[in-house]
Amino acid sequence: MDPDVPYRQMPDVLGESEREEEATRELGAWRDRTRTTWLAIFAVVGLVPAAVGYWLVQELQFRVNGVAFVRINVLLGVAIPWLAFMFLGRLVGTRIIRTRMDAQVTRLAAAYEIPRDRLAETAQLLAGI
């Protein structure tokens, strides 16, 4: 028995199309995880300016009107800064995905033994979504 050959060598269980589908699924899952992670980071960090914004809008209303309305505090002081941070988080996540997509495609193509070009075409479609 040759020592370089494994005792039992497994045949190719997944065909090329199944490997390509699995690599595409994994690429999409990676993209979703990356985008969700950056959105969550910016959502949590955005709570600080939202709290400061609430306080600033409330103080401004007290100075101008002598009375503060909670709806105005929330709309102007909380919603606008927090949504701005969410938008910024989406932009950062998308930028990171576009930057790292080629490396991820190369890694998945090698791991699943599929042509890199076909997975790269799918990656271009995923980058736009």
**Residue 43 domain flag:** yes
HSE-CB for 27 with a 13 A CA cutoff: 32
Residue 7: inside a domain: no
Evaluate if residue 91 carries a pLDDT over 90.
yes
* CA distance linking residue 28 with residue 108, whole number of Å: 11
Please check whether residue 114 lies inside any domain of the structure: yes
Given a cut of 90, whether residue 95 has pLDDT beyond it is: yes
pLDDT the model gives residue 96 = 94
CA atoms of 10 and 40, how far apart (whole Å): 42
Q: Residue 109: which domain range?
A: 19-128
Q: Is residue 13 part of a domain?
A: no
Taking the C-alpha atoms of residue 15 and residue 22, their distance in angstroms, rounded to an integer, is 11
CA neighbor of 53 nearest in space, from 39, 73, 70 = 73
Name the domain count of the chain. Answer: 1
Mean pLDDT of the chain: 89
Q: What is the pLDDT of residues 50-73, one digit of tens each?
A: 999 999 999 999 999 999 999 999
Q: Which ranges of the chain would DSSP assign to H, the alpha helix?
A: 16-45, 47-64, 70-72, 80-112, 116-128
Q: What is the pTM of this model?
A: 0.76
